[in-house]
Amino acid sequence: MSGIYLHVPFCRTACHYCDFHFSTSLGNVEAYVESVVSEISLRAKRWENMTFKTLYIGGGTPSVLKKCQLQKIVDAIRKNLKCASIWDEATIEVNPEDVSIKALEGWIECGFNRISIGLQSLDDEQLEWMNRKHSAIEAVNAVCLARKAGFEKISVDLIYGIPFRSENSWNQTVKEALDLQIDHISCYAITVEPQTVLGSWVKKGRIKEAPDTLIEADYTLLCDEALRAGFNHYEVCNWVRGEGNKAVHNSSYWFGAAFLGLGPGAHGFNGYNRYSVVSNNNKYIGFIKEGVLPDTIEKLSRFDRSNEMLMTGLRTAVGVDFDELNGLWGIDHIGSNPQQWKKWVEVGAIVESKNGRHRIAEEFWLIGDSISSDLIVLQS
């Protein structure tokens, strides 16, 4: 299954922890929209044999775009590219402060059937510390309005391991989030990136990073409470209530599907090589105006492909078919790493799942990337 990802590189304010590509200067939003429409046309010929079934608009903050701007982009996608008549899934990321019945109805009219709402926390002091521009009650109301407006699927984003906290901050956030009418949760640990406000605070000693014990406790609490609330933990950072509510677009990444990336800061993959679009809004607009795709191409070897499928597959409950990897790429991850394989199997970190596949046991998911790294095979 192939999908389309569009990066909207604008935010009204900068969250203190965020290292994604974005700008708080909104003066060239319209020029960006026109450039995306042109980029779609420029890329169309290269992707003419691909049928796209999912659409994901992320950022940044896609909800800063007006309905007419979103519609213009969606219309250009359908005009220039071969797409399913009805998207298997079309997701838009939004911030709670942008959510209203009018906005929700506009997003539905544009064809979106899934909404991802950036709650991050339901503790007002934490939200202020992160420089989020919404309150906890606004976040809760956003979810309720999305359901009322008729969104078929509702996902929320949360962040764990936040060092600024009261004793009950995380417990409160988890409990209140699970009480909402949501189908899906994505939850990631806060990371300290050097070019962010949080990175500066840590460097200056203003705040300390959360210890590993706290991060593990936060993650374990969510795992336990989500299970009690009827959620299935289907990927390291993703929980779903109801099999049909899994993130279809994101799941395709984990299993190596091709996807078209649009907009400054986006990445794409054509099934063979990966490309990244320049992470500078003005340069992007300038290149596109000249009819040039501002891409950096990364040629992937069979080792790259096999290792990536290993790493992403082992992050899921489905796991990996090692015989399939060997058949696809001619790489034997187990035979090339017999001691590491034996070590992780003996401690119960790697277990057999269905149909001869192997996965990482849930209690080891926090160190899953380290386990996967032990099984990669480098090109000699």
The structural domains of the chain, ordered by start, are 2-253 (3.20.20.70), 302-373 (1.10.10)
The residues near 28 (Cβ < 8 Å, ≥ 6 apart) are 281, 282, 285
> What is the full per-residue pLDDT of the chain (380 aa) written as tens digits?
799 999 999 999 999 999 888 889 899 999 999 999 999 999 999 999 999 999 999 999 999 999 999 999 999 999 999 999 999 999 999 999 999 999 999 999 999 999 999 999 999 999 999 999 999 999 999 999 999 999 989 999 999 999 999 889 999 999 999 999 999 999 999 999 999 999 999 999 999 999 999 999 999 999 999 999 999 999 999 999 998 999 999 999 999 999 999 999 999 999 999 999 999 999 999 999 999 999 999 999 999 999 999 999 999 999 999 999 999 999 999 999 999 999 999 999 999 988 889 999 999 999 999 999 999 999 87
DSSP codes, 21-70: S-BS--TTHHHHHHHHHHHHHHHHGGGTT-EEEEEEEEES-GGGS-HHHH
| Paired tokens of 261 | 């990336």
* AA letter at 180: L
Q: What is the pTM of this model?
A: 0.95
How far apart (Å, rounded) are the C-alpha atoms in residues 92 and 245?
15
Q: Is 120 helix (H, G, I), strand (E, B) or coil?
A: strand
Provide the CA 253 distance to its chain's centre, in angstroms: 10
CB 77 within 8 A of CB 26: no
